[in-house]
Amino acid sequence: MSHACMCSSPNEEELYPLVDQVIEKYRGNPKELITVLHRIQKLFDYLPRQALEKVSDGLGMSLNEIHGVASFYSFFSMVPKGRHSIKVCLGTACYVKGGQKIVEHLEKKLAVHVGGTTQDRRFSLDEVRCIGACGLAPAVLVNDDVYAKVEPDKVEEILSKYE
């Protein structure tokens, strides 16, 4: 079972000088956009608008062009992610065995919609089409931990393992 580091994370404002360093290295070179976006996402765990505006100025590209690239690739996120990623499988077997009920229960319990992150950035909630665990349906992934045959009344117990 994995647990999050309890170290304090830097305030986002403290990270912007590092963003400036990344941009300075690639200033005026729009061919390095994906490299720059990867490095910024590594700093924040997502791509904040303020950072994208700095990228726009630094690489000489419009914010629309940058947004187009960032939104095209699924590995980029423009919304903050939680410390723990919850992925509910909605492949055929999981859907038939109640995966959608798990999603609805989690949305209500966490007060967040699919694709969102809780206010305290503890959890991000996503649906996935298949995790290849059809015999365990309905299955839920929390970080890299697989939970099998999940029922809505087991959700709270599962989430309590992650701070």
Give the number of other CB atoms < 10 A from CB of residue 62.
9
Residue 5 assigned to a binding site: no
Peptide bond into 138 cis (omega under 30): yes
Residue 130 assigned to a binding site: yes
CA–CA dist 142, 92 (Å, integer): 20
Residue 7 assigned to a binding site: no
Q: What is the CA radius of gyration of the chain?
A: 18
> Of all helices (H) and strands (E), which one includes residue 85?
strand 84-89
Residue 94 assigned to a binding site: yes
Write out the binding residues for [2Fe-2S] cluster: 89, 94, 130, 134
Q: Residues at the annotated binding site? A: 89, 94, 130, 134
